Amino acid sequence: MTDRYAVIGYPVSHSKSPFIHAQFAKQTRQDLHYDAVEVEVDALAEALAHLHAEPYRGLNVTLPHKVEVAKHCEQVSARAQLAGAVNTLLRTDSGWRGDNTDGEGFLRDLKRLGYAVRGARVLVLGAGGATRGILGPLLAEQPALLAVSNRNPWKPEALAEQFKAVGTVLPRTHLAIKGDRYDLIINATSAGHTGQMPRLPGPLLAQGGACYDLSYGSAFEPFAAWAREQGAQRISDGLGMLVEQAAAAFEIWRGVRPDTAPVLAALRS
Ligand SMILES: NC(=O)c1ccc[n+]([C@@H]2O[C@H](COP(=O)([O-])OP(=O)(O)OC[C@H]3O[C@@H](n4cnc5c(N)ncnc54)[C@H](OP(=O)(O)O)[C@@H]3O)[C@@H](O)[C@H]2O)c1
């Protein structure tokens, strides 16, 4: 019987995961089928039990279930606990094992692009779920400093507290970073989805600095325009992260790591 996998979310029809995993399966000659399953907020527990019984071998989890799904896992990896979110489920005989590959995917993409984190002054804009997922991997790379700035000033304070056993996160507000200079600025806000950009105070990027946005497609455009105004030599969107986090999930499920380059190229074309 062909092994079955799926992404669950609401909505989920826009998801690129079915395309990405179909490409991975073809490339690595794995016999599997990958669906997109729409699961409403109130139907999560029921859907997980149903998909387990089917049986699905693994699931990707997207919005709005990434936080809630951890409560339905029999085990949650250390990195998913730190991120406070689960994006990958592996079926066991008795339930689901939760993991989070977003941070790994993000870091692999930064390395693919040749962005240096070690010794760099790094600023992360936004303090939501995506920021929580990337802070652990960023701290592990030993930046000179890692600041998190957000519209709501309390969220960076809370993150600094949550991550203090892992490393130092400097909590900032968009006003308080005025006059600072950073070598790498990472946009982890969802502002681009409404065509917006966080209100930031003047120049923030050091000469020769780089900018990276977790968003892609039209949601990337406002940050890309701001980064160009800052004089960034290198600006990247989060499509590579999307493919890399999917590759990490695929490896958890199938024990083989696919080549991400041709899949990213196919998505871009
Ligand atoms: N490439 C990938 O694989 C990947 C993976 C995960 C996420 N992402 C992307 O990462 C982004 C963030 O996702 P998330 O899950 O962290 O979302 P989230 O938990 O809802 O957090 C959203 C963040 O954006 C800020 N924000 C929203 N609108 C804003 C505005 N107009 N001005 C200033 N700040 C604003 C929020 O600030 P407040 O706290 O002040 O409201 C909050 O910090 C999304 O674009 C998502 O698509 C990409």
Identify the H or E element spanning 256: none
Top mutation candidate among 66, 68, 106, 190 for ligand 1, by most atoms within 8 Å of CB: 190
Residue 139 confidence class, pLDDT cut points 50, 70, 90: very high
| pLDDT at 178 (0 to 100) | 97
64 Cβ inside 6 Å of ligand 1 = no
Residue 68 pLDDT exceeds 90: yes
Domain at 211, CATH number: 3.40.50.720
71 is catalytic: no
Is 128 annotated to bind ligand? yes
Domain match, 90 and 130 both: no
**Within this chain, do residues 138 and 216 fall inside the same structural domain, yes or no?**
yes
pLDDT at 220: 98
CA of 126 to the centre of ligand 1 (A): 6
Please name every residue paired with 96 in a beta bridge, in sequence order, or none if there are none: 91
Residue 70 sits in the same domain as residue 177: no
What share of the chain in percent tops pLDDT 90? 99
What is the token pair recorded at 268?
A: 């871009």
Distance CA 12, CA 23 (A): 19
- Helix, strand, coil percentages (3-state) for the chain, rounded to 5, are 40, 25, 35
219 labelled as ligand-binding?
no
Summarised one tens digit per residue, pLDDT across range 93-137 is 999 999 999 999 999 999 999 999 999 999 999 999 899 999 999
127 and 198 co-located in one domain = yes
pLDDT digits 0-9 by tens, 229-264: 999 999 999 999 999 999 999 999 999 999 999 999
131 shares its domain with 200: yes
Give the pLDDT confidence score for residue 13 in this predicted structure.
94
For the beta carbon of residue 140, count every other beta carbon within 10 angstroms. 14
Q: pLDDT (tens digit, 9 = 90+) per residue, 160-173? A: 999 999 999 999 99
Residue 71's nearest CA partner among 51, 53, 93, 89 is 89
Q: What is the pLDDT of residues 1-32, one digit of tens each?
A: 899 999 999 999 999 999 999 999 999 999 99
At 24-60, the pLDDT tens digits run 999 999 999 999 999 999 999 999 999 999 999 999 9
With beta carbons less than 8 A apart as the criterion, state whether 27 and 262 touch: yes
Report the CATH number at residue 50. 3.40.50.10860
Number of domains in the chain: 2
Structure confidence at residue 107 (pLDDT): 97
Both 248 and 195 in one domain: the answer is: no
135 and 39 in a single domain? The answer is: no
Put the strands of the sheet holding 121-125 in their side by side order. Answer: 170-173, 145-150, 121-125, 182-187, 205-213, 234-236
Positive or negative: CA dihedral 13, 14, 19, 20: negative
Indicate whether 211 and 162 sit together in one domain. yes
Annotated catalytic residue: which of 26, 66, 111, 178? 66
Q: What are phi and psi of 10, to 5 degrees?
A: -155, 105
Q: Which of 7, 189, 196, 245 to mutate to test the pocket of ligand 1 (most atoms within 8 A of CB)?
A: 189
> What whole-number distance in Å separates Cα of residue 90 and Cα of residue 14?
23
Predicted confidence at residue 64, as pLDDT, reads 94
Total residues found in the chain within this entry = 269
- Tell me, what's the pLDDT at 47? 98
Percent of the chain with pLDDT over 70: 100
pLDDT over 90 at 179, yes or no:
yes
225-255 b/e with 16+ CB inside 10 Å = b?
ebbeebebeebbbbbbbbbbbbbbbbbbbbe
| Centroid of ligand 1 to alpha carbon of 44 (angstroms) | 22
Give the domain range for residue 69. 3-100+242-268
| Nearest atom of ligand 1 to the alpha carbon of 189 | 24
Are 32 and 67 within one domain?
Answer: yes
Residues 33, 47: one domain? Answer: yes
Rounded mean pLDDT, 144-160:
97
HSE-up (13 A, CA, CB side) for residue 128:
13
Q: In the predicted model, what is the mean pLDDT of the chain?
A: 97
**107 and 95 assigned to the same domain:** no
**In terms of domains, do 233 and 107 share one?**
yes
